[in-house]
Chain A
């Protein structure tokens, strides 16, 4: 319950932050909302020497539409994202996921950047970013890097971020007409991490067939992953429950769940399939409604 000791600094801008990360490379840990990091620090599972609080670093929490993408600042809270009109009205996949992360207090303070950088293998955002083909922007003193979500989540709690970088922005591709997305999460109780979580985006062509699909899966492997076999199953075909079950089976086969307190392997694999089915149904409904 009581953290070990550490130093604390609260830079006033991004440049100062980057300088600190370079100077104290390996020792410094960024603090955003804190709802992932501080619990670990309290249990002494994380013992950083220096905590760098991003609280006063401005310009990192905007939610704005550009021509090509929805830009979400890394410091935007889950709730800010949930209540942004553009998300509520158009980016329903994001609206789904921001309703399920943690509990109301967590959603008031937890940020998308903090959550994504923390990369818990059962957290919700990664599945959504993978399904959507989002880009994660990281800045260092040498400039910006744009990393596709599919290349970002490397291993358990490990991402492609360098120790001298700050995750500044997440770019969700603009939602074309005929596209719909949905997130299905199975949790043991409200507020839990996902026993299994599947995000699906489906794009329908004018002939009603699926031109492309993105499926992101969390809780069912050492890191969140893209269910590429399921995506292939869907591509070019007419949506139907039978097709979705086929895709679900592919997603389940591609999962490598661990048997643990959230369930045995067989159950989790079956849930991969079930949630894929449910996510695809809803995504397709939404795609048809956004013609």
Chain B
């Protein structure tokens, strides 16, 4: 069978590979690159456990072919922390008990990260709507919402501190 050559950047690292056109992006990440943090939870694009970022937009990697990712920048859960510092969302999920079995968690965090990028101060309804493409069976979503609220607060405060830090000093 014929393969296609792809060049993909994943979490800042460049990768080259020859893949079958039918290879799903989630399988490319898990099996070719060994990035098993992105999970498969269904086969009809409903559960969102496979959510990653493609060129900054959240995407269900089970509903994309690896060849569609050619030339694009991907981010997975493995790229969220700047060790030893966790991303505020990772920290918040831990602080707020926003995970139990952990299987939906990477996809949930990736979707939440996209949500907060798009809408830094979401209401509870907007958070619930924002993660409506991600299923969780364990938590009942209550603490996931709290985690996202905590992270939103921290990220907004950090952004403000940054802006304040670079604000020009008043003249005179």
Most buried by B among A31, A55, A109: A109
The minimal Cβ–Cβ distance linking B69 to chain A, given in whole angstroms, is 10
Q: Could you tell me which residues of chain A, from 78 to 124, have a CB within 8 Å of some CB in chain B?
A: 102-106, 108-109
Write out the residue numbers on chain A whose beta carbons fall within 8 Å of the beta carbon of B65: 8, 34, 38, 51
A290 interface residue per 8 A CB criterion: no
| A102-B133 contact, Cβ under 8 Å, with A5-B1, A51-B21, A191-B46 | yes
The answer to whether B58 touches A108 (Cβ under 8 A) is yes
The minimal Cβ–Cβ distance linking B76 to chain A, given in whole angstroms, is 14
Q: Which residue of the partner chain, among B40, B64, B132, contacts A38 with CB atoms under 8 Å? A: B64
| A105-B43 contact, Cβ under 8 Å, with A8-B21, A53-B68 | no
Write out the residue numbers on chain B whose beta carbons fall within 8 Å of the beta carbon of A261: none
The answer to whether B59 touches A38 (Cβ under 8 A) is no
The answer to whether A108 touches B63 (Cβ under 8 A) is no
| A105-B48 contact, Cβ under 8 Å, with A7-B2, A34-B68 | yes
Q: Could you tell me which residues of chain B, from 51 to 72, have a CB within 8 Å of some CB in chain A?
A: 51, 57-60, 62-65, 67-68, 70
The answer to whether B132 touches A34 (Cβ under 8 A) is no
Per-residue CB contact flags for chain B residues 101-142 toward chain A (1 = under 8 Å, else 0) read: 000000000010011000000000000011111000000000
Q: Which residue of the partner chain, among A5, A8, A51, A106, contacts B133 with CB atoms under 8 Å? A: A106
Per-residue CB contact flags for chain B residues 136-154 toward chain A (1 = under 8 Å, else 0) read: 0000000000000000000
The answer to whether B67 touches A8 (Cβ under 8 A) is yes
- How many angstroms between the C-alpha atoms of A106 and B40 in the bound complex? 17
The minimal Cβ–Cβ distance linking B40 to chain A, given in whole angstroms, is 8
| A43-B58 contact, Cβ under 8 Å, with A103-B48, A104-B133 | no
Q: Which residue of the partner chain, among B24, B59, B62, contacts A108 with CB atoms under 8 Å? A: B59
A1 interface residue per 8 A CB criterion: yes
Chain B contact residues (Cβ within 8 angstroms of A): what range?
20 to 34
Write out the residue numbers on chain B whose beta carbons fall within 8 Å of the beta carbon of A35: 45, 60, 63
A46 interface residue per 8 A CB criterion: no
Q: Could you tell me which residues of chain A, from 133 to 183, have a CB within 8 Å of some CB in chain B?
A: none
Q: Could you tell me which residues of chain B, from 64 to 105, have a CB within 8 Å of some CB in chain A?
A: 64-65, 67-68, 70
Most buried by A among B4, B63, B70, B132: B63
A39 interface residue per 8 A CB criterion: yes
Q: Could you tell me which residues of chain B, from 6 to 62, have a CB within 8 Å of some CB in chain A?
A: 20-22, 24, 40, 43-46, 48, 51, 57-60, 62
The answer to whether B22 touches A39 (Cβ under 8 A) is no
A58 interface residue per 8 A CB criterion: no
A42 interface residue per 8 A CB criterion: yes
- How many angstroms between the C-alpha atoms of A57 and B85 in the bound complex? 40
The minimal Cβ–Cβ distance linking A121 to chain B, given in whole angstroms, is 18
- How many angstroms between the C-alpha atoms of A102 and B46 in the bound complex? 9
A4 interface residue per 8 A CB criterion: yes
The answer to whether B67 touches A53 (Cβ under 8 A) is yes
Write out the residue numbers on chain B whose beta carbons fall within 8 Å of the beta carbon of A191: 46, 132-133
The minimal Cβ–Cβ distance linking A63 to chain B, given in whole angstroms, is 17
| A104-B63 contact, Cβ under 8 Å, with A5-B1, A5-B22, A7-B2 | no
Q: Which residue of the partner chain, among B44, B58, B67, contacts A105 with CB atoms under 8 Å? A: B58
Which A-chain residue is minimally distant from B62 (CB atoms)? Answer: A42
Write out the residue numbers on chain A whose beta carbons fall within 8 Å of the beta carbon of B133: 102-106, 191
The answer to whether A105 touches B68 (Cβ under 8 A) is no
Which A-chain residue is minimally distant from B53 (CB atoms)? Answer: A108
Interface residues of A (CB under 8 A from B): 1-8, 10, 31, 34-35, 38-39, 41-43, 51, 53, 55, 102-106, 108-109, 190-191
Interface residues of B (CB under 8 A from A): 1-2, 4, 20-22, 24, 40, 43-46, 48, 51, 57-60, 62-65, 67-68, 70, 111, 114-115, 129-133
Given contacts A6-B21, A7-B2, A8-B65, 16 further A-B contacts (CB under 8 A): A2-B24, A4-B22, A5-B20, A5-B21, A34-B64, A38-B45, A38-B64, A41-B22, A42-B62, A43-B43, A104-B132, A105-B59, A108-B58, A109-B57, A109-B63, A191-B132
